[in-house]
Amino acid sequence: MVKHLTKETFHEAINQDKLVMVDFWAEWCGPCRMLGPVLDDIASTLADKVSVCKVNTDLEQELAVRYNISSIPCVIYFRNGEPLRASLGFKPKENFVKEIEELTAK
């Protein structure tokens, strides 16, 4: 299940020891909508490796500004509150899976 975050729930959601993917998106953004089903798929098939969350940049402008978002979709990977890596634009599922594998390799 993809979690929708607000500025109130953001801090707790990214402060996990588990890898968290946060997708910064907007309703008017075509590629963001295309990414939706891909992220839903990742949320259900890789739930043990990663937590998938979304932030609507129109509704949560403070969060968008805090992370310097100027091009969407922008997926930022977090662990224990720290941003590890950002991924810009639509990518096929395989590309995200590879990134997740790299970030969860021990």
Partner 1 sequence: MTQNTMIDNFDIAVIGSGPAGLAAAINLKIRNKRFILLGYPQLSHQVEVSVLIDNLLGFPNIKGSDLNKAWKNHLEAMDIRIVDDRVRQVYTNVFDEKHVVACRNGDYIVRSVIIAAGIIRNNLIPGESELLGQGGVSYCATCDGMFYKGKKVVIFGTTEDAVHEAEYLCEVASEVVFIASAKVKGTVSASNCTQMRGKPVKILSENGKFTAVEMFDGTQIEGAALFIIKDAAGPSYLVPGIEAENDSIHVDADMRTNIRGIFAAGDCTGKPWQLMRAMGQGQIAALNSVRYLDEENYWSGL
Kindly give, in sequence order, each residue whose CB lies less than 8 Å from that of residue 95, ignoring residues fewer than 6 positions away: 87
Q: Which of 31, 44, 66, 102 binds partner 1 (CB under 8 A)?
A: 31
Q: Which of 6, 9, 16, 37 binds partner 1 (CB under 8 A)?
A: 37
Q: Determine, following the binding rule CB under 8 A, whether residue 81 of this chain makes contact with partner 1.
A: no
74 counts as catalytic: no
Q: Judge whether 59 and 27 are in contact, CB under 8 Å.
A: no
Q: Which of 4, 49, 79, 91 binds partner 1 (CB under 8 A)?
A: 91
d(C-alpha 9, C-alpha 51), whole Å: 14
